[in-house]
Amino acid sequence: MTEPAAAPAERFGEDYYQDPHAYFARMREEGPVTRVIMPFGGAGWLITRYADVRAALADPRLHKDWARKLAGPDWAPDEVAAFLNMHLLNTDPPDHTRLRKLVSKAFTPRRVAGLRPRVEAIAVSLLDPLSARLAAGETVDLIEGFAFPLPVTVICELLGVPAKDQDQFREWSHAVVADGGGQDEFRTAGVGMFRYFSKLVAEKRAHPADDLVSALIDARDSGDSLDERELMSMLWLLMVAGHETTANLIASGTLALLTNPAQLARLRSDPALLTGAVEELLRYSNPLNHATERFTLEPVEIGGVTIPAREWVLCATASANRDPDRFPGADTLDVGRDAGGHVAFGHGIHFCLGAPLARLEGEVAFGALLSRFPSLSLAADPATLRWRRSSLIHGLETLPVRLA
């Protein structure tokens, strides 16, 4: 066991945003448990090796309920702060256990499996106009035309949110997850979403429908239910998490395939590989750089380093998924690889509730692209593509494609 190093903390810079995998590879070698300066200015500890990340994700000594355990018993959130923070990802047992059980009742695997025909229909409706444009020789942004609208349309329909509002949600979501936008932009987005969902919940209470908002309003377990803050916060989480990660999986995964033509050809020739290939793309093109923040209440040893009490901890899932000690040839895309054990969806009690939906959407999206566009190609030098400036999200700004 070692005490925390006295060396200056690492600071996330452009090398992190534009090439996090190279950054993580360096950290796995030089300091797999390292003190860092996070984008909002606070200090935290970055964990980068697979074994340490997986263990930390399931470690009950790393807490999530910062409002009660760090802010203190006298902390009184306003409506917007509660809306943005009182959800599953910011709670510990027993509250987390209760909330997850309630939400799971309305977000069942059966409901997700039944969505396949609708997800396939949405994919076709989006690819039809893209096909015409590509056939005419145009270059199109695959994110704008497909990778974003597919999952956001799905989650809007699940929640009962009008599809016409999806662009507004994209703007709000980007503001919430971006680094460097400032607290004004963050709060403006939070206020906008809070007001929107307040109105939506009132409408669904008066006129319930066959959608997730109505189901969450009605969710009960042994007389327990979601209170108003928990309900609103859950809707915000489902809306943002329900499209951000999948949109980035589709875009980044497509880029990975287009820049690895042998693997793309292999997948085209053997569609039976598709389900496993989605797992490999989740591992290789992890939509998140790290899991949402945890914190210590007591000194905790991780990877031979003692992290002091009351410190933030970032579990770099994207780094863990590229750790060669767990995945030989980790920086190589292999659509035939058994990628089981990847931590793209986390691990432990906070394992992503929406993982089945993300997998379904990924399978439908990649399957549709492969069958519809046998000559799809990248319309830009990969080195010129820019990644969004977010420490949490690993997502492209645009993905220009054309037919070769």
In DSSP notation, 156-208 reads HHHHT--GGGHHHHHHHHHHHH-SSSHHHHHHHHHHHHHHHHHHHHHHHHHS-
Q: How far apart are CA 193 and CA 205, in angstroms?
A: 18
Q: Could you read off the pLDDT of 86-106 as tens digits, one per residue?
A: 788 889 999 899 889 888 877
342 burial via Cβ count (<10 Å: 0-12, 13-18, 19+)? buried
Please state whether beta strands 10-11 and 300-302 pair in parallel, antiparallel, or not at all (unpaired): unpaired
Res 8: pLDDT = 55
Res 5: pLDDT = 45
Q: Could you read off the pLDDT of 195-223 as tens digits, one per residue?
A: 898 898 999 999 999 888 888 888 766 56
Answer yes or no: are the C-beta atoms of 12 and 36 closer than 8 Å.
Answer: yes
242: its two tokens: 């329900």
Judge whether residue 398 has pLDDT over 70. Answer: yes
> Which residue did the predictor score with more confidence, 292 or 226?
292
What does CATH list as the number for 10-403?
1.10.630.10
Q: How far apart are CA 167 and CA 185, in angstroms?
A: 17
Judge whether residue 180 has pLDDT over 70. Answer: no
Q: How many Cβ atoms sit within 10 Å of the Cβ of residue 36?
A: 21
Res 75: pLDDT = 61
State the number of CA atoms in the 13 A half-sphere of 218 facing the CB: 15
| Among 216, 265, 267, CA closest to 111 | 216
Quick one: how far is CA 33 from the chain centroid? 23
Q: Could you read off the pLDDT of 352-379 as tens digits, one per residue?
A: 988 999 999 999 999 999 999 999 999 9
Please state whether beta strands 400-403 and 140-141 pair in parallel, antiparallel, or not at all (unpaired): antiparallel
Answer yes or no: are the C-beta atoms of 301 and 1 closer than 8 Å.
Answer: yes
Give the mean pLDDT of 27-53.
Answer: 90
**What are the extents of the domains in the chain?**
10-403
Q: How many Cβ atoms sit within 10 Å of the Cβ of residue 123?
A: 22
| Among 228, 179, 244, 201, CA closest to 77 | 228
Q: How far apart are CA 207 and CA 198, in angstroms?
A: 14
Give the mean pLDDT of 223-235.
Answer: 82
SS3 346: coil
Q: Could you read off the pLDDT of 247-299 as tens digits, one per residue?
A: 999 999 999 999 999 999 999 999 999 999 999 999 999 999 999 999 999 99
| Cβ-proximal residues to 154 (8 Å cutoff; 6+ apart), any chain | 115, 118, 119, 122, 242, 243, 357, 361
Q: Could you read off the pLDDT of 66-88 as tens digits, one per residue?
A: 877 776 666 666 677 666 777 88
Q: Could you read off the pLDDT of 141-152 as tens digits, one per residue?
A: 999 999 999 999
Q: How far apart are CA 287 and CA 99, in angstroms?
A: 25
Q: How many Cβ atoms sit within 10 Å of the Cβ of residue 205?
A: 12
> Which residue did the predictor score with more confidence, 272 or 7?
272
Distance from the first to the final alpha carbon of the chain: 56
Q: Kindly state the percentage of the chain with pLDDT values over 90.
A: 59
Give the chain's mean pLDDT: 89
Answer yes or no: are the C-beta atoms of 244 and 160 closer than 8 Å.
Answer: no
> Which residue did the predictor score with more confidence, 64 or 169?
64
Category of 346 on φ-ψ map: left (φ > 0), alpha (ψ -120 to 50) or beta: left
Quick one: how far is CA 87 from the chain centroid? 15
Partners of 378 in beta bridges: 401
Res 181: pLDDT = 55
| Among 91, 43, 55, 82, CA closest to 310 | 43
Q: How confident is the model at residue 131 (pLDDT cuts 50, 70, 90)?
A: very high
Q: How far apart are CA 85 and CA 77, in angstroms?
A: 9
Q: How confident is the model at residue 6 (pLDDT cuts 50, 70, 90)?
A: very low
Res 226: pLDDT = 82
